[in-house]
Structures are given as C-alpha cells and as structure tokens.
Structure 1
C-alpha cells in the first residue's frame, strides 16, 4: 500500500478546512494549528523522500480506477525532492508569518495551506489535466495571498498577476485539448507511448499543443519575454508570501522537467526534444534580463525579485541542453536558489522594519539596530545568490558549467553565467554597503525589534546554503540519481501500465 502518497495533500487540505472553521478563534490557537499542519506536511514529505530513495516508482490510483482512465499520484525521486523543498520552505515562511504578518485577514492560514496543497498535487500527479487542476488550486490561493494587506501598492500588480495567470490557464486548457483530440489520453505515461505513433497532419496538432504547453510553463516560470509581471507582483507581496512564492516559478520549471523528457523526449520520434532549441537561447536571455534588473534595482525587494529571474534562466539553460549531468546540476541549484531567495525576502522585511521611512530603499539612512545580525545574514544570502564560494550557490553554478561539453552552447553558457555572476556581485555589494555601512547622522523612530522567531526562520532559510555544502555529497548523489531516473523513462511507463488493483483500495 502507498497511502502515504496522499499525506502531503490531505494534511494541508484538512488543516485549511480546520482554519476556516476556527476563523474566529483566538489567534494563538489558529497559529498553533497552522504550524502543526505545516510541520506534519514536512514530516510526510520526508517519509516519501525516504521511500523514493530506492528508485522504485510508487503509484496511488484514486478509487482504484486504473490508468490511463483514473486519477493517479506518482512518487519518484523528483516528486519527493520537490515535496521536501516546498514543505520546508512553507514551514519556515509560516513561522515568520506568525510573527505578525498573518494578522491582516482571518483567511491567511487557510489560503497558505490551500496553496501548499495545490503545490503538492502538482508534484505528485501523473496526469496533465490534474496538473491543470493543481495549478488552479495553487493559483486561486495565491491570488488571495498576494492581495493580503491593502492599498493600490498590492492591488495593481495583483490584478496583472491574476489576468496573466488566467490567460495562462486558458492556454493550458487549449493545449491539453489539442493533445487529447489526437491521442485520446492525458496520462503522462500513456502519452509517452502514443505520441511517437502520431503521424501525418495529426502530428502537427500535437506539436502545436506541445509548444503551447511549453509557453504556459514558460509563463509560470517567468521566462523572457513573459517575465515582466513578476518583479512588481513579488515586490508588493508581504514578506512570507513573497518568500513562499519563490517556489512558484519552480512549478513551471518542474512542468518542463516532468513532461518534456517523458512525452517529447528522445523516444518521441519526429517530435523528439520539442521546443528545446528555443528554450536554451530564451533561458540565456532571461538570465541577462535578470542581471540588468538587479543592476538597476532601487530597493532590496526589487533586487531579490530580479534574482528570481536570474535563477530561472540559470536553471533552464542546462535543462534545455538535455544532458544528465546538466539536469542533475540544475536540480542541485534549484534547491539552493529557492531556499536562498526565500530567506532574502524574509531578511528584507526585517531590514525594512528597522529603517523607518527609508524602508528597503538602497539609500543611506541612520544606523539600524541589529546591524551585525542583519548584515551577516545579508552577506551569506548575497554570497550564495551571486554564486561565490564556499556556499551552495557556487557549487550549483560550478556543476552547471562543468556539465556542458565543448561547443557553441558551452561558450554561450559559460560567458553568460560568469558575466552575470560578476555583475550580480556588484549589485549586491553596492546594496549591502549602502544599506548597512554607509550611514548618516540621526535616529530611526518607530523601528520594530527583531524577535527570536523572526530571526530563527530567516536564518534557517539562508543557512540552508551552508547546510547544503555540508551535505553536498549526499545531495549531489540524490540529484544525479534523480536526473538518471527522469531521462530513463522506461520505468515510469512500465509502472503506470502495469495492473495496480491493490493501489488506492
């Protein structure tokens, strides 16, 4: 039995429903219930990570309906890794939120847990339509979280975010409709078998559906030219929401990693490697756009949002090249950049609370309290984000560079990443020196003290870059095995085609 596969979905679902029923209960009770729910979700994810370590696929067929007709949840190394990444990020963001950010509305904790549930469904589902459903669940929750608070500062970027994602959802439906009209299935394993058999005019319809689906994933990941909605939307969100949203762009990247090697990979016949020749130059252009953004940032929050764009380009470039080493390096870097960017979003909120009217603007202001603590956290976060040794961001980028073979792609990848890292370092050095060390005379009034809980949650996320270095051997071994499992699609296909009468009963 593999009923554990439902735990990362049912735990946040039940926790969110409970939050709705206790919406008028005292805040301490609601906070305790929320943290317990997030902690249990992380515990369930760790259990699944342990199960996935034996390279065996585990499948849960809802209602015992066999694939390709039923709803299936599939656990492999990639799904387990994404579950742990998401649950750990959610728990630390939730801890930060109970420091006071959650007081704006009674629905904060329920929305937060619904989004966590939607993310977990996306990582576990084995069906394209259920992936669409998962996207809608997490997006609806994200709409509410993005608007958490008040004022036009959030409402205008929030409206842009909603409209663009509604357009993306429409395109998602159109693309899966085109694919289903030819193949008669949306089960990923079944598609992997049927797509290579498509020929003639029907092949063009499937190709169009596949390319349109790639556009949808690119929109979710904020790939250039579908990038410009992200900086304003994330910069206007509250700190724990923006930090949790660090995983949202990775959902689009996950969709590309999950669908394209399996359905449109090397065994897809005439549709092999569909769209990958476009993805590589767009990834490099996205990286360059992110570097331009961080160089021109006027606030710390904008600086970190553009860092997200840099990470998207850095991740997708080796993925587009299609090698096992490149995919393994990208997965290692994905872990590092998600935790680091999430920690930086939380840190910036602590800095904002200390600087009065200067907020997080990169301008000189009177010296802040807790300068040693906050500047040290910023230093570690900036070093990891820029890709300097000895933190995990450096090892992630180094593995990406080493994964390429000699040729034009290697020259472009090395040149773009190294140049981008240099200018990113300049941007972080400028921001850190101005905000923390170039002070003017005066005293900041109405600054908020940094509580141990806020410092702990922020430090834990940024400290993941140190932990990843200490565990670099096991983590890189896991990501290498994950890449090998993803590119060898036979096990996935055979597992989902085999009878599973005992599952889901």
Structure 2
C-alpha cells in the first residue's frame, strides 16, 4: 500500500504506452478492454485512497526519496482523493459511451484518453506548483488531440482558439512561477505557505504580481469571466465522450484556485492574506450573470450544457470567494454534482443529436426520436438536477452554498444571482425539453437505436444525482472534513506539517 498514491498516474501512463505498441494498437477490441480495465482499476485505487484519507491520514509519496521542499511530492489528502474518485467515475462513464462506436471515428483515441486521465490525476495529486504546471501541460496536450478526434471544420476552428489561449496561459504560468520562486525560494505549496508570511513590503509587492498571474491562469482553465468565451464553442464541438471528460477540466482550475489561494495565500499569509478575494467576488457574480444570459440564448442542446458548465463555475467561485470552511464544504458537494451531471448531459445531447436527423440537437422542429422514452427520462432527471430542483443533488448543493453565505453583503450578492441563474436554467431547459421531445414533425422515424452501452453510460452518470441525495449525510460529512483539513483546522492531523522541513508528521 506504500505506493498507492502514485498508481493513479502510473496506471494510465503505462496503459497509454501499451496501447501505442503492437499488437494492442492494431486491435480496437483489445484497446477497449484495456481502457475499461485500467479505468476500473483507477476507480478502485481512488476509492481505496478516499477511504484511507477519510480516516484523517495524509499519504505523502516522495519520488526518488528526495525530501520536500526540493523533491517531487504527491499528496493524497481528503480533497485530492475526492477529486481522483470523481475523475475516475466520470472517465469510466465517458469511456463506456465511447466503446459504443465513437472511439472508431479517429486514431489513437484510447491512448490519448489515458494520457488525459494521467494529467488530470497528476494535477490533483501534486504538492508542488511547478509540477502542477507540468501536469497541466500533459492534460492540455492530450486535450488538443482529443478535441479534433473524428475531424471536421468546426472542431478544427475550435481547437485553434483553444490551443492559442492555453499556450498564452502556459506562458503566463511560467512567468508567475519564476516570480514566486524568486521571492519565496520554493514552489512546494506547503513550504510556500510557511514562507509567504515572512516577506517584507517590497517582496510582497512582487509576490502579489505572481499570485494574481496565477489567478489569471487558473481562471482561464476554469472559464471564469472574462476568460470564459472559449468554452461554449470548444465543448459543443468536441465528440460526446471527450466533452463529458472535459466537464472535469474546468474543475481542475477551480481546484487549483482553492488549493493555492487557501493554503498559500490564505488567512495566515500575513500581508498577502486573502489576496484573491477582492477579485473573486465580482468575477463570481458577473460569471453567474453572463452565464444566465448565455443559457437563455443557447440555440442547441450542446451549447446549453456548455453554458450550464459556466453557470456552475460561477457558483463554485462564489463558494471560493467566501473563504470559509462551510462554504468550501458546500462547493465541494456542488462540484461533484455539477461535474457528473453535466458529463451525463453531454452524452445525452449526442444521442439526441443522432436521432433527430438534419436538425441535430438544435431547438427546432424535427422528426420524433426513435427512443423518446429512455432519452426523455434521462433528460428529465438531468434537467431537474442541473437546474437545482428537489429531490435531486443540485437542490442540495445550491442550498448548502446559500446556507454558507452569511447574512450580510455576501447574502445580498449570492442569493439573487444564484437563484436567478437557477431560474434561467429552468426556463432554458423547459424550452429545450418541449422542443426536442414534444414539438415534432410528421416526418417518418428512420433512425437506428444506438448501442445499448451508450444509454448505460448516460444513466450511470446521471444516477449520481439521486445517489448524492441518498448518501447526502456521509457525503457532506466527508466534504466538511475535507474543508477543515484544507483550511488547516483539522484536529487529528495538521495537513501542512509533513511538507515543512523540520515539521512533525
């Protein structure tokens, strides 16, 4: 069990390499079996790590026995293991859907998918900001290729914008790392948290520049305003399993903001304490407002879901801006809910697209789908969940976020924008459901039902919403403990001590 923390990186890495070698690379059936086996194993490892972290234990994996802050360290705490499990469930559902035939539409889908999983898992596990940059690049390079999987003019155009923006973001990231290393002398997250409070006024001004540059980079990854314009076109043009997996990419940005600006630039950062909060509040509110307008203006199912992803980012940013244990716990619950439900809706949108002929998933009159009942039930569950209506997890998640807002200026901003965003989502989804399932032409139904495994994948991800309600007690208890640990308030184990030279483990 000593090497358990590195397995979420090693398993997809070795699987991806194996898929590039003969005879596996020449046999699609073998690639499917290997992908599902690797993702199933990652799911088990993530679950084991989650159970281990739930006891309060933080597992550190020091590569090459080079001790931090100089060596590479992986950290499996409550927050990172929760994100690992979330990624494993989402990845397994997306791969199930791809095995219904989507993986045959382009080359190297399976190894690219594995490398993407490796990059995401590494970003969640790393305890060093430079290695966060490295894993960002791994997942971005894979996403560039996955985005144009199966080809097409629309995908190529969207990929160019996506690549250019992320290259700019990577350049800013490197500049920020150089500035912070020059002032703090370290890029180990826990060691930075110890050093940042000792900076003098001049060094604080320089470190502020680096910190805000990081906020820009993470904001680009998470698609917060005004850096959200790339997401609707990118996500709506990607193939269904890729778009479903991309639902967690924006959460990598949210995770990075939460980790860095809570641990490093949190309450104990001296003159740099809570440096991001004055920026996050207006950004969160404006993101919610703009996303609400985007939801109402969406002309197709995939565009609507992409806008709903941005709406969820605004909600999560509001939780980060509150910078309290209760708010962090609420946003973690909402993060899990929104990622899985949006992933399932992207898959559902593709099934609708395939069964409506030339109308595809646009909100126009078209022929009746050949599977209106199972798709309609899935749409009903997903729509109620993502709009935040009872009895599904969206209602619980939003209620927790609203409860976390104190009865002062926070509540005055969060309550109306969050509730108006939910109303906009409900109106847009009602219009979408009415058009897609009821407003049909007399054209004869000539579509072929999709592979059954695709429906299984859709229901697997959407089933997470009622399950998050049924197991809401244990889930919120875990998110409470994860938030306590992140904010350094855990009574059973100080999460930062093992990182700091001379600290007690």
Q: Distance in 2 between matches of 1:194 and 1:24?
A: 49
Match of 1:33 in 2: 34
Q: Which of 493, 498, 502 is 1:495 aligned to?
A: 498
CA distance in 1, matches of 2:448, 2:339: 27
Give the equivalent residue in structure 2 for 1:351: 352
**Separation in 2 of the partners of 1:199 and 1:284?**
33
TM-score, normalised to structure 1, is 0.97
1:408 to partner: Cα distance: 1.5
Output aligned runs, 1:315-334, within 5 Å.
Answer: 315-334=316-335
Matched residue, 2:308: 307
8 Å Cα contact 1:61-1:500 kept in structure 2 = no
Tell me if structure 2 keeps the 8 A contact 1:356–1:444.
no
Matches of 1:195 and 1:229, distance apart in 2: 34
Q: What are the equivalent positions in structure 2 for 1:90-489 lying under 5 Å apart? A: 90-445=91-446, 447-488=447-488
Q: Which moved more, 1:113-122 or 1:283-292?
A: 283-292
1:183 and 1:351 mapped to 2: Cα distance? Answer: 52
Structure 1's unaligned 5+ residue stretches are none
Q: Secondary structure at the match of 1:60?
A: strand
Native 8 Å contact 2:236 2:306 kept in 1:
yes
Deviation at 1:450, TM superposition (A): 2.6
Cα distance in 1, alignment partners of residues 502 and 269 from structure 2: 24
Q: Secondary structure at the match of 2:299?
A: coil
Cα distance in structure 1, aligned partners of 2:414 and 2:502? 44
Cα RMSD between the aligned structures?
A: 1.4
Once the two structures are TM-superposed, the CA of residue 424 in structure 1 deviates from its matched residue by 1.0
TM-score normalised by L of structure 2? 0.97
- Determine helix, strand or coil for the equivalent of 1:491: coil
Superposed CA deviations along residues 422-442 of structure 1, whole A, max 9, x for unmatched, are 121000000001110111211
Q: Which residue of structure 2 lines up, in the alignment, with residue 15 of structure 1? A: 15
Post-superposition Cα deviations, 1:30-53, rounded to whole Å, max 9, x if no partner, equal 111111111111111111011101
1:439-467 residue CA offsets vs partner (Å, 9 max, x unmatched): 1211143x231322111010110111011
Residues 19 and 30, structure 1, Cα contact 8 Å, conserved in 2: yes
Number of equivalent positions: 501
Deviates more, 1:454-463 or 1:25-34: 25-34
State the shift of 1:290 in Å.
Answer: 1.1
Q: Tell me the alpha carbon deviations over residues 136-176 of structure 1, each in whole angstroms, 9 at most, x when there is no partner.
A: 00000000000101121100011000000010101000001
CA distance in 1, matches of 2:99, 2:486: 38
Is the Cα–Cα contact under 8 Å of residues 157 and 233 in structure 1 kept in the other structure? yes
**Distance in 1 of aligned mates of 2:352 and 2:290:** 26
**Aligned partners of 2:79, 2:270: CA distance in 1, in Å?**
25
2:57 counterpart residue number: 56
Matches of 1:198 and 1:303 in 2, distance apart? 46
Paired with 1:488 and 1:128, the residues of 2 have a C-alpha distance of: 19
Provide runs of 4+ in structure 1 moved above 6 Å.
Answer: none
Q: CA deviation at 1:318?
A: 1.6
CA distance in 2, matches of 1:448, 1:211: 52
